[in-house]
Structure 1
Amino acid sequence: MDMKPENDCAWKPKHGMTVDFEQSVYDFYNTYGGRMGFSIRKDYYTKNKFTNQLICRLLVCNKEGFRKVDKRDPLAKNHRAENRTGCEAQLYVKLDEGTRKFVVTDFTEKRNHDLVSPECAHMLPSQRKISTTQAIELDLAAQYGLRLGQSFELMGRKLVGGNVLGLQN
Structure 2
Amino acid sequence: MSGSGSDLDLAQDLQLSTQREAGVEDPIGLDVGVDEYEQGDDQIVDIIEEGNQYVAEVGLDIAAIEQPLQSVVPPPYIGMEFSSSDAGHMYYLRYAFDRGFGVMKNGGSSKNGRKRVIITCSKGGKPKISAKKAIPDKNRKVEKELCKARVYLKLDQSKDVWVVTGFCDKHNHVLCPDFSHKIRSHRSIQDWAINQLELNDRSGVPVISNINAVTAMGGGPHHCGFTERDARNVIAKMRRGSFQKGDAEALMQFFREAKRKDPKFYYSYKFDEDNRLDIVFWADSTSQSWYKFFGDVVTFDATYIVNKYV
Tell me if TM exceeds 0.5: yes
Residue number in structure 2 paired with 1:67: 127
> Which amino acid in the other structure matches residue 27 of structure 1?
M
Of 129, 135, 156, 2:215 maps to: 156
How many aligned residue pairs are there?
151
Residue number in structure 2 paired with 1:24: 87
Shift of 1:146: 7.8
Distance 1:31 1:159, change over 3 A: closer
1:1-169 to 2 correspondences below 5 Å: 11-47=74-110, 55-71=115-131, 80-117=140-177, 119-140=178-199, 151-159=210-218
- The structure in which a higher percent of residues are strand is 1
Identity of aligned residues (%): 24
Gaps in structure 1 of 5+ consecutive residues: 1-5, 162-169
Distance 1:90 1:71, change over 3 A: same
CA contact (8 A) 2:127 2:145 kept: no
Name which one, 1 or 2, has greater alpha-carbon Rg.
Answer: 2
TM-score of the superposition, structure 2-length normalised?
0.41
Distance in 2, matches of 1:159 and 1:32, equals: 22
Gaps in structure 2 of 5+ consecutive residues: 8-17, 19-72, 221-310
- The structure in which a higher percent of residues are helix is 2
Distance 1:11 1:148, change over 3 A: farther
Distance in 1, matches of 2:206 and 2:85, equals: 34
RMSD: 3.6
Shift of 1:102: 0.6
Give a deviation string over 1:74-130, Cα, whole Å, max 9, x none: 8xx89843221111100110111111111101100010000103x322222111133
